[in-house]
Amino acid sequence: MSGSGEGTIMVRVLLVDDHPVVRSGLRAVLEATGRVEVVGEAASGEQALALVPSARPDVVLMDLNLGDGIDGVTTTTRILATGPTTLGAARPPAVLILTTYDHDADIVRAVEAGASGYLLKDASPEAIADAVAAAARGETVLASGLAQRLVSRMRAPSEPTLTPRELEVLRLVADGSSNRAIARALFVSEATVKTHLVHAYEKLGVDNRTGAVTVARERGLL
């Protein structure tokens, strides 16, 4: 963090979101608080990883869904593995998830990846600025109501985990895609799609597509 103005501590932030309008809006509202200096913007996880060393942020404000490239959780893991990027810092930049998704599975994945917090995009500018400052201090921040859900989720008996590809297939099923369409979209055979579905059925305790989508949604996987 660097000093600015009359002793105000400015937090250096890198914005990562695949929507330019969202990035512009975040930059405007955060810089208007006088507490944040936006030192860079990235539209993808790959861009974020390339920018971190030169931008030297204290906090990376990260969306979960970043389009066709690596997602926010994977990007978070890789950023935290890079080590400190700010001169004299003892740790890598903090990563704060800011997204529209409040699925329990996404929250758990983000926290397990090392994210310092998880906020929803309907938070007020001041709440986001407060969270950014807290993350820069090494604190953990969760949106109101998410903390108890996270604790309950992590205390619950463990359930068989769907693989990323099984989840990908289920998301396409939920969108109404046929096995043939899913196979084309993922560049695999229909037999492979069926195999992923069978494994997903077993893990979710169901025997059909509708049941799989329903249970996956109930568990916050979709």
Residue 199 located in a structural domain? yes
Q: Which domain holds residue 35?
A: 2-153
Mean pLDDT across 76-102: 79
DSSP-assigned letter for residue 68: T
Mean pLDDT across 11-32: 94
* Percent of the chain clearing pLDDT 70 (strictly above): 84
Residue 136 located in a structural domain? yes
Phi, psi of 210 (to 5 degrees): -60, -45
- Whole-number pLDDT of residue 87: 53
> Where is the domain boundary, 127, 153, 179?
153
Say whether both 145 and 172 belong to one domain: no
> Where is the domain boundary, 103, 132, 153?
153
* Whole-number Å distance between alpha carbons of 70 and 146: 25
| Inter-helix orientation angle 179-186/164-174, to 10° | 130
What is the CATH number for 146?
A: 3.40.50.2300
pLDDT digits 0-9 by tens, 166-202: 999 999 999 999 999 999 999 999 999 999 999 999 9
Q: Are 12 and 68 in contact (CB under 8 A)?
A: no
Say whether both 24 and 129 belong to one domain: yes
- Whole-number pLDDT of residue 122: 87
Say whether both 170 and 126 belong to one domain: no
- Whole-number pLDDT of residue 222: 83
Q: Name the pLDDT band for 89 (thresholds 50, 70, 90).
A: low
Say whether both 213 and 114 belong to one domain: no
pLDDT digits 0-9 by tens, 101-118: 767 677 778 888 899 988
> Where is the domain boundary, 119, 153, 187?
153
Instruction: Give the mean pLDDT of the chain.
Output: 85
Say whether both 112 and 171 belong to one domain: no
Say whether both 72 and 110 belong to one domain: yes
Instruction: Give the residue with greater pLDDT, 41 vs 204.
Output: 41
Residue 67 located in a structural domain? yes
Whether the predicted pLDDT of 8 surpasses 80: no
Say whether both 168 and 145 belong to one domain: no
Residue 45 located in a structural domain? yes
- Whole-number pLDDT of residue 3: 47
Residue 158 located in a structural domain? no
Residue 91 located in a structural domain? yes
DSSP reduced 3-state for 14: strand
Say whether both 179 and 200 belong to one domain: yes
Whether the predicted pLDDT of 215 surpasses 70: yes
pLDDT digits 0-9 by tens, 121-162: 888 888 999 999 999 999 988 876 666 566 555 555 556 788
What is the CATH number for 168?
A: 1.10.10.10
Say whether both 17 and 77 belong to one domain: yes
Say whether both 138 and 51 belong to one domain: yes
Residue 159 located in a structural domain? no
Q: Give the number of domains in the chain.
A: 2
Say whether both 40 and 88 belong to one domain: yes
Q: Are 60 and 17 in contact (CB under 8 A)?
A: no
